[in-house]
Amino acid sequence: MSRREGSLEAPQADSSVSLLPHLEAKIRQTHSLAHLLTKYAEQLLQEYVQLQGDPFGLPGFSPPRLPVAGLSAPAPSHAGLPVHERLRLDAAALAALPPLLDAVRRRQAELNPRAPRLLRRLEDAARQARALGAAVEALLAALGAANRGPRAEPPAAAAAATSASAASGVFPAKVLGLRVCGLYREWLSRTEGDLGQLLPGGPA
Amino acid sequence: MPAGRRGPAAQSARRPPPLLPLLLLCVLGAPRAGSGAHTAVISPQDPTLLIGSSLQATCSVHGDPPGATAEGLYWTLNGRRLPPELSRVLNTSTLALALANLNGSRQQSGDNLVCHARDGSILAGSCLYVGRVTNHAGISQHGAETVLSALLPLQVPPEKPFNISCWSKNMKDLTCRWTPGAHGETFLHTNYSLKYKLRWYGQDNTCEEYHTVGPHSCHIPKDLALFTPYEIWVEATNRLGSARSDVLTLDILDVVTTDPPPDVHVSRVGGLEDQLSVRWVSPPALKDFLFQAKYQIRYRVEDSVDWKVVDDVSNQTSCRLAGLKPGTVYFVQVRCNPFGIYGSKKAGIWSEWSHPTAASTPRSAPCSVCLSLRLILPVLASLLPSPHSTRTWLRPQESGSWRRCGGGAPSFPRPPHLPRGAAGPGAQLGCCSGPQGGPGP
């Protein structure tokens, strides 16, 4: 190897150039998936509020945005974090969502048994959240930024959501479901935005 | 305070904010200490009511600091603010509501009755289910019927399940299925529970393996007694009530079914163009108990959907089909009924049909004698008296004369072209007929 200026970096540059197109394609693919799922989440939310009856669908309806076991909304400071950190939080939230969506679906199966489309959307949402979360984690691993620390505990969240949902009155259950569907949409939208920042031309 | 509101340093941890208790429901129904906010409880929670009836409800406020006031609270129903004259303050922390002449609920999940604070924030909610009493025809009526139905749209307590049928596979288990009652199943989520107990003693047991052979079925895999009757019933429950089916009483031995006969072989009978030999094995699971099995055979031409059934093939494991078309492929199936198992006086339950087995009848060169025989033999057969007029197929015997299945005279000279023992070496000749009504296809 000749000792030209910068020549020591040549081998790494060669390997990273060969990896970049593949990684970029994966980022684009995951970003597209997040974009699509965000649209689905909007539809889910619309269908959900429609079936709970007014005031759920009314413009001024504003139930308390209260914590849901195991998951919170994206913090206002989320956008200020490094992109890898944001994506780790996105992946963790997407992992926590499926048991919550399952709990909502089970309760809605009792409250709206004649609404198969809503029940199907809720079931699909749980699967899609799982899939997108796995895709984001795969990207993080490819970027060398995978989470090595202890994770949140989806099973505990699921147990809490399930037992509480089963025990609660109908109105609180409706509100809880609305909250979960809202969080689902928020985190999908956030994930789409964070992945967009990884695309070429986006800020680092 | 919303969760997750931390500085960037704290949020650099590689996970979302830690698990929080499920506070949403608590806030809607109980105070949060130290928060300075108020919550409330509505009573009754999620009532079911008749159209035209009245409702008395209360909204009781809790809060920190104590002594939260009911002043300024108001009600909405399905998002519409209710007139103030319908409310009154019961005490400093409780607002009452009186609704009269209720209309039917607007949505299946119930009308949303909400208690609001002065600033419009939601303190508590309750869902009302308002409907009317119906008879089975769905005609509205008022009266003293004890069954309350919220017909809204068409929500009613479950009707009692019916038409319970059960069967035991090889006396090892019991599977039952039933038909749900009409209304409750269709419009409200209904839970079904299959119950069973020994008739003369024992406690109620509940089946646990559901949906094994369809949506309304259950499977009891073990620990079943023989020679003693069981009582079996189904309980249906939805949010408006419950219903219980009639009790079915049965002995496991009276409802036994088994596997289809294995190893079904279909083969030609030498050169006979119109016959096929069917052989099978008795179902192995019941081989030690099956003293009086019955079998049925069905067969069809390859490109037909019409099966011909040979009935009452009793306690034998071979049969010859006759009157078939030459040079034709036939599909054959066999099934078994463990009739009279362990001395049961009842017929068992037919097994599933075995997998189809195919074979073809031979076709020889045109033969004028054969053609004549085909024309003559059915005519001769129809002239012979028989208690079962359709069962007149003949079989050759070593004496060379043709005899009717099951013995008896008269005999006819054996057609010269048919060799002795035409059934083929080693074949077990079962006496088997064509289908009722005449020759086979």
| pLDDT, tens digit, 9 for 90 and up, residues A93-141 | 999 999 999 999 999 998 998 899 999 999 999 999 999 999 999 999 9
B133-148: average pLDDT: 40
Interface probe for A, chosen from B1, B5, B6, B25 (most Cβ of A below 10 Å), is B25
Contacts of B6 in chain A (CB under 8 A): 75, 77
Residue, of B393 and A201, whose pLDDT is higher: A201
Nearest to A33 by CA among A142, A119, A129, A141: A129
Which DSSP symbol is given to B419?
Answer: P
d(CA A92, CA A105): 21
Please, are residues B361 and B327 in contact by the beta-carbon 8 Å criterion? yes
The answer for B153, left when phi > 0, alpha when psi is -120 to 50, beta otherwise, is: beta
Q: Is A109 within 8 Å of B29 when comparing Cβ atoms?
A: no
Residue, of A35 and B432, whose pLDDT is higher: A35
Q: Is A112 within 8 Å of B109 when comparing Cβ atoms?
A: yes
Q: How high is the mean pLDDT of chain B? A: 74
Burial of B340 (0-12, 13-18, 19+ CB in 10 A): middle
Res B308 pLDDT > 70: yes
Residue A96's pLDDT is what?
95
Question: Distance (Å) from the C-alpha of residue A14 to the closest C-alpha of chain B?
Answer: 32
d(CA B196, CA B183): 25
Residue B410's pLDDT is what?
37
Kindly state the tokens that stand for B425. 């070496």
Phi then psi dihedrals of residue B336, to 5 deg: -125, 145
B214-242: average pLDDT: 89
Residue whose pair of structure tokens reads 């004649």 in the numeric block: A114
Contacts with A, B 111-140, CB within 8 Å: 111-114, 121-122, 124-127
Nearest to A152 by CA among A104, A194, A93: A93
For the stretch B7-24, pLDDT in tens is 333 333 334 433 333 333
Per-residue confidence band for B36, with pLDDT thresholds at 50, 70 and 90: very low
Architecture of domain A20-57+79-149+167-197: Up-down Bundle (1.20)
Peptide bond before B44: cis, by omega within 30 degrees of 0?
A: yes
Q: What is the ipTM of this complex?
A: 0.81
**Domain ranges within chain A, ordered by starting residue:** 20-57+79-149+167-197
For the stretch B111-124, pLDDT in tens is 999 999 998 989 99
Peptide bond before B65: cis, by omega within 30 degrees of 0?
A: yes
For the stretch B170-200, pLDDT in tens is 888 999 999 988 654 445 678 899 999 998 8
Q: Is B28 within 8 Å of A172 when comparing Cβ atoms?
A: yes
Residue B2's pLDDT is what?
36
Question: Distance (Å) from the C-alpha of residue A72 to the closest C-alpha of chain B?
Answer: 6
Contacts with B, A 22-61, CB within 8 Å: 51-56, 58, 61
For the stretch B248-282, pLDDT in tens is 999 888 899 999 999 999 999 999 999 999 999 98
**Which chain B residue shows the shortest CA-CA distance from A77?**
B8
For the stretch B58-96, pLDDT in tens is 999 987 555 558 888 999 999 999 999 999 999 889 999
Nearest to B45 among A61, A64, A169 (CB): A169
Residue B25 three-state SS: helix
